[in-house]
Amino acid sequence: MGTKTIISVEDYLANEELAEQKSEYHAGEVRMMSGASWNHNVIVSRLIAKLTQCLEKKGCLVLPSDLLVHIPACEKFVYPDVTVVCKKPQLNKHPNSNLDALLNPTVIVEVLSDSTQLIDRTEKFNCYKKISSLQEYVLADSKKTQIEVYRRQPNGWLLNTASELKESIDILGCNIALEEVYDRVEFV
């Protein structure tokens, strides 16, 4: 068994600011992030375009995966694939780092792959639930046509799933057709 190296938030942020490759911070453990597939990138770009088009007039910002989200309740700094913030951004500005980390996302989108699916569905979702501003958590599959939207309810999270190209999903009141999200995605 290997030993884990635990580092401080300060050291993580200092290293991350200078790093050539992104990594996430999970309660002292640093996890390197790998590149993404064609399907992953197409889905992310389509969702960013559709959400920006719909939410711009509502005062929301749709941001790509280069923005850190800080989850203090879980001691995590993560890079969601897409982040939407609809209120004035609350940023964690650490004294020894120029990196900003968002504290109040409204929607978080993760695109599932073989290597991230389990973590996105369990560990990350359990932590994302602790962000009081989060209203929706979206999981888009990169291996098949399927998008799941978890919507916060007073007594838990309601799941809506669409898995046919002719179906649409609702994200913050934006009606998005799966055929638009999965256009040019190639399943092997």
Where are the domains positioned within the chain? Answer: 37-69+77-181
CA torsion sign, 78 to 82 to 87 to 91?
positive
What pTM value is reported for the model?
0.94
Greatest C-alpha distance within the chain: 53
Look at residue 69 and give its three-state secondary structure. strand
161 close to 148: Cβ distance less than 8 angstroms: yes
The tokens of 148 are what?
């799941």
Spatial separation of the C-alpha atoms in residues 168 and 22, rounded to whole Å: 32
Report residues of the chain scoring pLDDT below 70. Answer: 1-4
User: Would you state the pLDDT for residue 95?
Assistant: 76
User: Would you state the pLDDT for residue 4?
Assistant: 64
% of the chain beyond a pLDDT of 90: 82
If we measure between CA atoms, which residue out of 86, 79, 123 comes closest to residue 101?
79
Cβ atoms within 10 Å, residue 48: 19
Spatial separation of the C-alpha atoms in residues 44 and 76, rounded to whole Å: 22
The tokens of 62 are what?
């749709």
The tokens of 57 are what?
């007039």
User: Would you state the pLDDT for residue 1?
Assistant: 45
Q: What is the DSSP letter of 173?
A: T
- The CATH fold assigned to 37-69+77-181 is tt1808, chain A (3.90.1570)
Backbone angles phi, psi at 25, to 5 degrees: -110, 120
User: Would you state the pLDDT for residue 98?
Assistant: 83
User: Would you state the pLDDT for residue 123?
Assistant: 95
Torsion of CA 7, 11, 16, 20, to 10 degrees: -80
User: Would you state the pLDDT for residue 3?
Assistant: 56
Cβ atoms within 10 Å, residue 56: 11
Q: Which string of b and e fits 3-35 if b means at least 16 CB within 10 Å?
A: eeeeeebeebbbebeeeeeebbbbeeebeeeee
Q: Summarize the chain as % helix, strand, coil (round to 5).
A: 25, 35, 40
